Every structure is written in C-alpha cells, then in structure tokens.
Amino acid sequence: MKYQNVCIEGLGYCLPDEIVTSTEIEQRLEPLYKRLRLPEGRLELMTGIAQRRFFPEAVQPGDVSIHSARNAMAATGIDPADIGALIHGSVCRDFLEPATACRVHHALGLPQDCVVYDVSNACLGILNGAIQIANMIELGQIKAGIVVGTESGRHLVDNTIASLNESTNLSRNDIKLAVASLTIGSASCAMILCDKELSRTGNQLIGAGIRAHTQHHDLCHSIAGKNETGVGNPLMQTDSEKLMAEGIATGAATFADFLGETGWSPDQIDRTICHQVGQTHRRLVLEKLGLSLDNDFATVQWLGNTGAAALPTTLALAAQTQFLEAGQNVALLGIGSGINCVMLGAQWQTTLVSGTGEMPEGMEKSGALAGT
C-alpha cells in the first residue's frame, strides 16, 4: 500500500496514575513462588519489564478513549466537522454491542455523516484502524479521521494471579503459558490522520506492508473465564517462546514488503517504534531486520505490554520528547498474535501531541530510557 495524500496529523494519549511493579506482582504470587521454589526477580529478568500501570477499576475503556481523542483534537486544532471516520481499535471495549466507537463519537460531538465502528485485532487494532482511515482519505472519501483505543490490563493480571495461586498442580513449565499475561499494562492513545491539504504538520504517510501468518493463530488465545468486554474474568494462554519466534519471522517477511512499498532501504530508516512486548523481543526483532537499537524508542520497561495502545502511545511519547525530528523516516513495526503484522512508514516533520499522565522517570530525548 502506497500513500500520497495522507498525513499523521497528531496524537493524544492517557497514562494511568497507578504504578504496579513486577516485584509487587511477585509478592502477590508468594503462594505459587513458595510452592515451586521460584527465585524472586524472575518476572522482570525474563521480560525486562520493571513496572506497568493500571486505570481505576471502575473506569471503562470508552471513558479514557474519549479523553485521549479530546487530547488529540486539542493538539491538532482539527475542526470536528472535518472528521469523517471514528474507529475504536483496542481489544478492550465497553460492551459487545453497541460499538464503543458510538459512545466516543457522541461524546466528541462529531458529525452524523461519519463512519463509526470498532476494530479488534489483538495488538494491531489501532494500526489497522489507521490504515482504514488512510485508505478512505487516499480515495477522497473523507478529509480526516480518528482512531483511538484503550487497553485496561488490571482484570487480566488480577485473574491470572488468582488462577496461579489457586491451581496447586501447576509445574514450572505450566506457568510459562501465563507469563505474558503478567506483563500486561494499561494505556490509551488516539491518532488523527488527515488529507495533506488539511495538514499543519506534513507528517506524510508513505506506505504500509501487511502480512498474515495465521497458521500460528493458536499460540495466544483467551481461555475459560474470558469476557470479551475486557472487564470480567479474562484469562489468556500464551506460548511466549514460539509466539516470539514466529512473530519475528512474520516481521521479517513483512519488512521486505514494507521496504518495497515505501521505497526505503534499511539504512534510510532513521527512527523505529516497535510493538512493546518485552526487551528480548525488541532486541531480536531489530537484529533480524538489520536495524539499530539506538534508533528505537521503547516504553515497555515502564508501561508493560499495553496491547493495541502500545505502539501508538510509544510513538506519541517519542514525538513529545523530540526523539523524532523533522525530515526523519519513521517506521512503525507492529506485530500481533494471530499472527498478523502491520508496518507503516512516515516522514516526520512537525509534532502535535497532547497527553495526560506523568511520563516515566528516566525518559530522555535520546529515546534510551534508563535501564535499556
């Protein structure tokens, strides 16, 4: 997919206030750790995640998505009348029916002649929504659109801890399937895309590569106790080692397509934003693609894996801390269970970002967060 008329105009985000460290999670898992004689510090050592954040328990995803979208609209100064599409792209949503996008659309006071719906595709929903909006803009169907999503990981982490402590027949090998669930955090992000004639930034979307290796769809999935709204009793089962290996292979295949669509070579990519799963995953992906770790911005050690919100939130923070500079080619490298891969390329010019919530301590302009 190639684009000539689309700009990533701006971003808005919300970070939770409550910080939960991996040490605190291990303390809550004391019955399991004692039973299996697990060493303390194992969770952070395996994942590279020191902490994650959670929204208050009573807060619904739509509540936060409204706030993130308002932040994006305030940052860009976009006229609500120009918004022709509103897509809600996170796994978590308020209800199965109607679409959470309906509530967000109403709260934002957007026009009635606006395309409104939810997209759910594991960690890629917001990027998928961005592509759909970009396609509508490129075709001349709309002037601008908003894709937004909020992931709330508290319930998954709480239920995983309870399940691990209550299941007395688990082995060390068994708990590997639950490790990924303990890395989950919460975050929210909105992205506004618009026609270049309307843009104040000139952050032009150049192209996109996509790939579906769905033979691996069973490597990460919800199990008994799931609640599709994301607020009930969700549990996940993940073969983390195989998912990482096959995800990296999918990424490598997509990257070749991505380079063809953008017309870039690897050495023409100035900045990268990867999906935020863990530090090992990040390092191995970039090594496989022949890209420098020094040019990549990460938040996973501070925010954990925030699903579909992870990559766009990291993009917003990278832009806000001036890690992205005018004239740079930026590659957004998304991978989601299924396995699907979406990679977007944009030439950055001007940053319009507004956020709510304190940035992680140690985040610097260099993009090299403390501890990386």
The catalytic residues are 97, 123
Contact assessment for residue 353 and residue 320, using Cβ atoms and an 8 Å cutoff:
yes
Contact assessment for residue 351 and residue 200, using Cβ atoms and an 8 Å cutoff:
no
- How far apart are alpha carbons 186 and 136 in whole angstroms? 29
Give the CA-trace dihedral at 204, 367, 332, 291, to 10 degrees.
110
Q: Which residues pair with 174 in a beta bridge?
A: none
* CA distances (Å), origin 229, targets 3, 58, 233, 330: 34, 13, 10, 33
- Angle at Cα 219 formed by Cα 151 and Cα 120, nearest 5°? 35
DSSP state of 360: P
Helix (H, G, I), strand (E, B) or coil at 262: helix
Q: Which of 343, 179, 175, 195 is nearest to 272 (CA)?
A: 343
Q: What would the two tokens of residue 211 be?
A: 């790939």
- How far apart are alpha carbons 320 and 273 in whole angstroms? 14
Q: Which strand (E) or helix (H) includes residue 103? A: helix 100-108
Contact assessment for residue 161 and residue 101, using Cβ atoms and an 8 Å cutoff:
no
